[in-house]
């Protein structure tokens, strides 16, 4: 059964995922692993671009509307 997510659940998931990624970059910088921090940054950027291409236009419209409503756009 497919679960219907509400706006708060979507934002919680996205925030959690974003914070995990930031923590990995921050950890690499703290250990002076600049090359690995840059690799992570580029990896996450590629994932973001790929994910935006893959999501269907209705989902994108929903997420965009939520961000607009929250003045994030």
Q: Is the pLDDT of residue 67 over 50?
A: yes
Instruction: Find the domain containing 45 and state its range.
Output: 34-73
For range 3-32, the mean pLDDT: 85
Q: Per the structure, how many domains does the chain have?
A: 1
Query: Do the domain assignments include residue 69?
Result: yes
DSSP letters spanning 3-23: PPP-HHHHHHHHHHHHHHHHH
For range 34-51, the mean pLDDT: 83
Query: Do the domain assignments include residue 42?
Result: yes
For range 39-64, the mean pLDDT: 70
For range 19-32, the mean pLDDT: 90
Give, to the nearest 10 degrees, the angle between helix 7-30 and helix 34-54: 160
pTM of the model as a whole: 0.56
**Residues 10 and 66 sit within 8 Å (Cβ to Cβ):** yes
Query: Tell me, what's the pLDDT at 73?
Result: 44
Query: Do the domain assignments include residue 14?
Result: no
């Amino acid at each position: 059964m497919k679960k219907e997510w509400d706006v708060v659940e979507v934002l919680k998931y996205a925030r959690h995922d974003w914070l995990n990624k930031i923590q990995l970059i921050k950890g690499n910088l703290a250990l002076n692993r600049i090359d690995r921090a840059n690799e992570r940054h580029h990896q996450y950027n590629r994932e973001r671009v790929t994910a935006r291409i893959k999501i269907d236009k209705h989902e994108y419209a929903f997420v965009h509307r939520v961000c607009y409503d929250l003045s994030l756009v």
